[in-house]
Structure 1
C-alpha cells in the first residue's frame, strides 16, 4: 500500500513531517489509510496519501478551518468525506457512468519532495501519473502534482500536465469543506454579480445578487468569480483566495444528507466553497499543455 519507502529518510530530515496510520490518528479499524502530518510553529495540516487529500489545517493558536465528517470512512478506494478532495480530471458526474469527480481523489499518490522553507513554512509535494488502471477510465497519459505549504495560511497548488497526443476536455475543483458553527448562519461573500448555475432539481441559470446564504439544499456553480471569497460565521472569518481559477461551487445538501451514510445529521457543520474550473469554465488541454490551480485559505 505504501509508496513511502524511498522517502522515509528524506521525511525524517524535515522537522515536523511524519506519516501515521489513520487508525492511530482518528481511530477505526484497519487497514485504514496513511496520513501525512505536517507541523511547524506556524500551523499544522494533515493529508492522506490516498488522493493527496488535505484533511485539516489549523493555524497556530487558531481553529481548524476545514471540516471532516465524524462518520468519514478511512478505507482504501473510498474518498474521505471532508477536507479538500481533489476532483479531476472531471468534476461531478460522468456521462458514461464513471466514478463521480474523477479518480484522483481515491488513487494512491507518491511523495516526491519535502522541505522546510527559510520563512518557517513547510512544503510537501505529491504526484500521480497514469497507470493501467487510470487509462481504463481516462485514456490519456498525464502527470498530476499537488504541492502543500503549511504556515499561517495553507497554500496549495495543483498542476496537471497532459502527456497524451490529442486535445482533451478537462475540469477540476479543489472541493473544500469549511468548518462552520451552523451552516444556516454562514454568510459567503465574493460572489456578487456572478453568473450562477443552480443544479438543485434541474439546471437554472441566473445572476447571483448579494451575499450567499444557505437555505435548505444548496448546490450552485458560480462562473468567472473574483479571486477571493470569505465565509463569515460566529467563529470568525475564513478567507479563500484563488487568482487562477474561474469557478466557485457552493454546496451543502441540507436534509438530503440524512440519506448520505458518511454525513447524515452532521451537515450543519460545514459549507463547501470549492475553487476550480467547471461547467462553462471547463478548459481544453492541448497535448503537452498544463493546467494550474492554486488556493490559499486563512483565518
Structure 2
C-alpha cells in the first residue's frame, strides 16, 4: 500500500493511492473516519471504511459490472503533495474503457485543516458526451448507530429498497437497518452521535445516502459484529442528479467534514 500522511495543527489523516482513499482522520482529538477492523489495505482489495470514491457509477450496475464502479479499486497517480494536502489523478486506460468506454480525467484533492476537505473533478476528454454518477462513501465512527440521527433532510424525497418512496419528516433515525437515498438534499447535513456532531458540508454534490445494514452486517465478512460502530452518510450525484458532460467540459464537487466539540458529561 502506498500511504500518504497529512498533518495540520488540528490533526492528522492517512490516505492511500489505492482508490485515492482517505483511511483515517483525527481532528481536534476526535476520530472522524471508521475503518473496519477486518480491512487489509495492504492487499489492494476494496477497502471497507474511510472514504471510498464510487465512480463512474454508484451502486449496482444494470449489466452486472462491479458495484460502485472501478475507481475505488485502482491505483491513482499522486501528482502533488504537501504536509496538509495531496492530489491524485486517474484517467482512462484499456481496462477501464472495457467497462466504461469514455476518455476522461478524474482528479481528487484531499486537504486537512479544521476540516477534511475533498475536491473531486472530472473532465470529459472524449468527442461525445459522457454521463456518470458518483459518491464519497464516507464511514463515520459513531459508537452505536442505533443512537444516532441525521438532520437536514426534512421535507426531501426518500427512496429506499423495499419501501415506498416517501417525504422525510424530521431527522433521519438510524436505530434500524437503513439504505436510504435522497437524490436532492441540502448542502449541509449534521450527523448527531451519542457524544458529538459531525458536520457534512458540500458544493455540487446534491445527493445523500445513509446506510447501515444492522445485524445483517454480521453476514458481511469485513463488517461482522462491528456494524453498530459506524454509519455511512454519503454525498455525491446519484439518480436524477447524474452528471452529463459535453466534450471538453469539467465537473467539480466539494465536501468538508468537521466535528463539533464533545458534549460534557
Q: Considering the TM-score relative to the shorter chain, is it more than 0.5?
A: yes
Distance 2:9 2:175 in 1: 38
Match of 1:86 in 2: 53
Distance 1:142 1:172 in 2: 14
Distance 1:53 1:123 in 2: 13
Q: 5 Å matches for 1:230-241?
A: 230-241=190-201
3-state DSSP class of the match of 2:121? strand
**Equivalent residues of 2:188, 2:199 under 8 A apart:** yes
Match of 1:70 in 2: 37
CA deviation after TM superposition for structure 1 residue 291, in Å = 1.8
Q: 5 Å matches for 1:100-179?
A: 100-115=67-82, 122-179=84-141
Deviations for 1:133-174, whole angstroms, at most 9, x for unmatched residues?
111111111111000111121111000111112222210101
3-state DSSP class of the match of 2:228? helix
Q: 5 Å matches for 1:1-299?
A: 33-60=1-28, 62-115=29-82, 122-199=84-161, 201=162, 204-299=164-259
Match of 1:10 in 2: none
Deviations for 1:7-37, whole angstroms, at most 9, x for unmatched residues?
xxxxxxxxxxxxxxxxxxxxxxxxxx22211
3-state DSSP class of the match of 1:242? strand
Distance 1:76 1:112 in 2: 23
Deviations for 1:167-201, whole angstroms, at most 9, x for unmatched residues?
222101010011101000011111111111112x3
CA deviation after TM superposition for structure 1 residue 76, in Å = 4.4
3-state DSSP class of the match of 2:135? strand
Q: Which has the higher contact order (CA 8 A, sep 6+)?
A: 2
How many residues align? The count is 259
**Equivalent residues of 1:50, 1:76 under 8 A apart:** no
CA deviation after TM superposition for structure 1 residue 216, in Å = 2.4
**Equivalent residues of 1:76, 1:106 under 8 A apart:** no
Distance 2:64 2:81 in 1: 37
Match of 2:262 in 1: none
TM-score normalized by structure 2?
A: 0.94
